[in-house]
A and B are shown apart, each in its own frame.
Chain A
């Protein structure tokens, strides 16, 4: 089946299924029902993983699937419509995992004629997936195996042509480091949930795509009119100029001023040397050019170079906020060039800078407390603020040398090995390291981490401004906002567009749903979109319970530092949460979702979401939630408009 030169209604039309063990490549018409009911991207990935991956499958084994999906909106002239989603059972969390990135790969997959690629098995030798319109091949990647991500991309472009879009993994992914990422466009990453490790386990080094097909949409004239109007209207939005200038690095100082920035492994929330790693420092000392994803007029990407004495000058994209926090203040780095260098280092070895920063910070605190010593570190130290120490430690982890093996599975697994109370400050939930905000005086943010379906991650709900507006000492009432945000924010990951223009430029969900309808011809409203997102959320929860076989509540707790340690310094000194408050938030959250107090979805809510099959499945293992005394809430989550900064 040759690709048609143009597609219809936002879809490219074809889905690929590739068995990496046998090399078999099959083409199927894209399942439009799946796209409509599960919204493509994260949603379609969640449904396929739920239906097809055996519950006891090893995330790094042949039965796990590795899926990439460009959703229904990527590449469709929608602002920031540049994402591609990756999904598999996460080697970090042992549950559904998905991660997405911008750049140009998602749109290019569709321009080549494909909506989704579903890969199974393990290749007998290193390969890369080559897609050039109708030509789809698994090609030998032995010449690229072992190369750093940032070195591999230009090498492949040189071999294949500049107009190929490339995604690669680095040695971390090849070596099964569980927090490995996928890198594309010289610095865009699908970083979370260890998707790079899954690629590596399948011996899939890279993906290279070129496409010449067009995408047709339901109503191009109206879409063009609407999108043009959005672009013109937002050009003068007060957030546009700082966004274009700094990208998310703008929030480094803001987070510090508001005392939520993780510092030295979340020991405190205020970093005394923040000026050295701020957005201004980045722009003044490292910036080369602003860099945008496909079709995005906000250009938040900052392409930079890091210059450190005694080191080769390196080129990278970033550090954006999360890397700035987690590889900056969280490691005690005082100079933006240090942070940028570590950003480059982790990008090139192919580890997520967020989990990577979390893992290094955890190791540094272990060293600070004498739980690991220079004897464990091949004679090296691991001190706060030391690039040399970090570089050496990262090398130990990537190559699983000595104690590096402990950390190759992330902080949770490392803490289990190290013991001696280190679990308390292993800053993760469900195995995934926390994002760059300390939740001790931002309770909604902590609840967001606790209940995030893929382990601690800010992407699903981000509540710092909600906490500030509604009262940081108060935990009551926070759950319903978290639930709402957990419905709206993942929608962007389904549609494979960036959420930042919604958050930063005051674009209402209704306007984005209108774009969706103009692209697809679906004629849905925002309420239906939220409900579909809720369905996906509940399916992922059921999947997690089915794989991990215990009450949901047992998995939803943060590390004990979250309630045992008060914030010691800075503007929030003395603040913190009690265990009781954390329990209150969980109680409220479950009630708000229609789950029982053990954190298990009830049949009533699953039925309402047309997930009776999932209710049956969790009932079989005794994890179906008990009926709620007062029934389930008619609407789960309360709409909340985040306040501007």
Chain B
């Protein structure tokens, strides 16, 4: 399933500017709505980390596409798509959770309603609703990537 990347292709991911985030969580709401048809931020594949009372900053945590989840998945249930996203094959995923601790930003989740893990699939609906510019789409050509 491993995607072969070629020159000229583009990889997209979410870019974060923490200082701009105001913690509204519209991103988390739209994420769950689009993927699970319900309003439930706990089913979103990103999180807003609030650092209060000090220093007083919101840090969006999003998938950085490091690929560690795919590396450790014992079922081969995660593959990389040609836009850079790591996709969970829900029919293969056993919800074992091995991928969760290796995810550096901590954006792989389980939910009691679901029998598979939740991982960002690059739909970018979150970036489209962000009114502060804290999360945007970052595009880079494959050539420059490693």
Contact = CB atoms under 8 A, between A and B. Distances in A.
Interface of A: 5-6, 75-77, 104, 111, 150, 153-154, 162, 185-186, 211-217, 220, 224, 228, 231, 235, 244, 288-299, 301, 303, 305, 315
Contacts of B30: 77, 224, 228
Contact of B40 (A213, A231, A292, A315): A213
B43 interface: yes
B56 A303 contact: yes
A295 B32 CA distance: 13
A216 B42 CA distance: 14
B101 interface: no
B33 interface: yes
B37 A220 contact: yes
B24 A288 contact: no
Contacts, number: 99
Nearest to B33: A224
A559 to B, nearest CB: 38
B22 A291 contact: yes
B132 A214 contact: no
Contacts of A295: 24-26, 29
Contacts of B129: 228, 231, 297
Nearest to B39: A215
Contact of A150 (B26, B37, B53, B57): B53
Contacts of B24: 292-297, 299
Contact of B131 (A5, A154, A231): A231
Nearest to B26: A295
Contact of B132 (A104, A211, A231, A299): A299
Contacts of A214: 32, 36, 38-40, 42-43, 113
Contacts of B19: 289
A298 B131 CA distance: 8
Contact of B23 (A111, A292, A305): A292
B146 interface: no
Nearest to B53: A315
Contacts of B58: 289
19 contacts: A6-B40, A6-B113, A104-B25, A154-B52, A162-B50, A212-B112, A214-B32, A214-B39, A228-B129, A231-B131, A288-B55, A289-B22, A289-B57, A292-B24, A293-B24, A295-B24, A295-B26, A298-B131, A303-B56
Given A212-B112, A220-B33, A290-B132, A154 B22 contact: no
Contacts of A296: 24, 26
Contacts of A185: 52
Nearest to B25: A294
B111 interface: yes
B2 interface: no
Contacts of B131: 231, 235, 244, 297-299
B3 interface: no
A288 to B, nearest CB: 4
Contacts of A301: 22
B41 interface: yes
A304 to B, nearest CB: 8
Contacts of A216: 38-39
Nearest to A240: B131
Contacts of A153: 53
A516 B58 CA distance: 30
A293 B50 CA distance: 12
A292 B22 contact: yes
Interface in B28-66: 29-30, 32-33, 36-43, 49-50, 52-58
A162 B53 CA distance: 12
Contact of B38 (A215, A298, A299, A305): A215
Nearest to A216: B38
A299 B29 contact: no
A153 B53 CA distance: 9
A363 B16 CA distance: 49
B22 A212 contact: no
Contacts of A215: 38-40
Interface string B86-113: 0000000000000000000000000111
A150 B131 CA distance: 28
A289 B111 CA distance: 31
A111 B44 CA distance: 14
A212 B112 CA distance: 8
Interface string B110-134: 0111000000000000000101100
A75 B22 contact: no
Nearest to B54: A315
Contacts of B25: 104, 294-295
A497 to B, nearest CB: 14
Contacts of B38: 6, 214-216, 220
Nearest to A212: B42
Contacts of A290: 22, 132
A104 to B, nearest CB: 8
A338 to B, nearest CB: 20
A75 B42 contact: no
Contacts of A211: 42
Q: What 8 A-B pairs come out closest when comparing CB atoms? A: A214-B40, A214-B38, A292-B24, A299-B22, A297-B131, A292-B22, A288-B56, A290-B22
Given A297-B24, A315-B53, 13 more contacts: A77-B29, A162-B49, A185-B52, A186-B53, A212-B111, A216-B39, A220-B39, A244-B131, A288-B55, A290-B22, A295-B25, A296-B24, A299-B24
A176 B39 CA distance: 38
Contacts of A5: 112-113
Contacts of B41: 111
A425 B58 CA distance: 44
